[in-house]
Amino acid sequence: MFYGISLTAILVALWLTLSGPFTLSGDYPIVMGLGLLSIIGTVALTYRMRIVDRETVPIGPALALFTYWGWLGGEIVKANLAVLRLVMKPEIEVEPRLIRVSAEQRSDLGRSVFANSITLTPGTVTVDVEDDGFLVHALDNSFTDPAGFAEMGARADVASDGRKTGMATGEAN
């Protein structure tokens, strides 16, 4: 129920952001009607699909998620500058590598957040998903620091779940 109400509130906020003046001025009743209709329809469909839970409406981990995005933004800037340096050198000197990164996140959401974070960071792309890890293509061997991947994995796990009890291996690495 809590997640249903949160989902409705988020959808109302989204509709007001996208069409606020038209809805609130009252001059266009059809806009307000369509907004109500689509919000009710979306909530009803998600209830019928039984997917309204902690994972699809991440209200609990919201703070952890924003913290993670901030940290990830910093990492992306660093990786972008590294790729920029490699690309702009007079001679292209790269040593591409395929490496395996173990993914020991507790949930599938954590695993997908980790995989997408690896892909989002320039210089590393998740090529394939395996049972216990990812196959990652790295542009240069300077991007293949195992400690960096372990830290990102542990942070992705916390961010997707919101609870601080990190992975057994993620903290140790």
* Interface residues toward another protein, by CB under 8 A: 17-18, 20-21, 69, 76-77, 80, 83-84, 86-88, 92, 94-100, 102, 115-117, 119-128, 133, 135, 137, 139, 141
Give 44 or 146: the residue with its C-beta nearer to another protein.
146
φ, ψ of residue 155 to 5 degrees: the values are -65, -40
Where does residue 67 fall: left (phi above 0), alpha (psi -120 to 50 degrees), or beta otherwise? alpha
Give 18 or 44: the residue with its C-beta nearer to another protein.
18
* CA-based nearest residue to 37, from 62, 15, 55: 15
Rounded Cα gap, residues 158 and 75, in angstroms: 17
Give 1 or 88: the residue with its C-beta nearer to another protein.
88
Give 54 or 137: the residue with its C-beta nearer to another protein.
137
CB of 1 to another protein, least distance (A): 27
Q: At what angle do helices 2-25 and 29-48 cross, to 10 degrees?
A: 170
CB of 140 to another protein, least distance (A): 9
The pairing of beta strand 133-138 with beta strand 124-129: antiparallel
Rounded Cα gap, residues 7 and 36, in angstroms: 14
CB of 13 to another protein, least distance (A): 10
Give 1 or 32: the residue with its C-beta nearer to another protein.
32
- For the chain, the farthest-separated pair of C-alpha atoms sits apart, in whole angstroms, at 63
* CA-based nearest residue to 124, from 107, 104, 141: 141
CB of 147 to another protein, least distance (A): 15
CB of 96 to another protein, least distance (A): 5
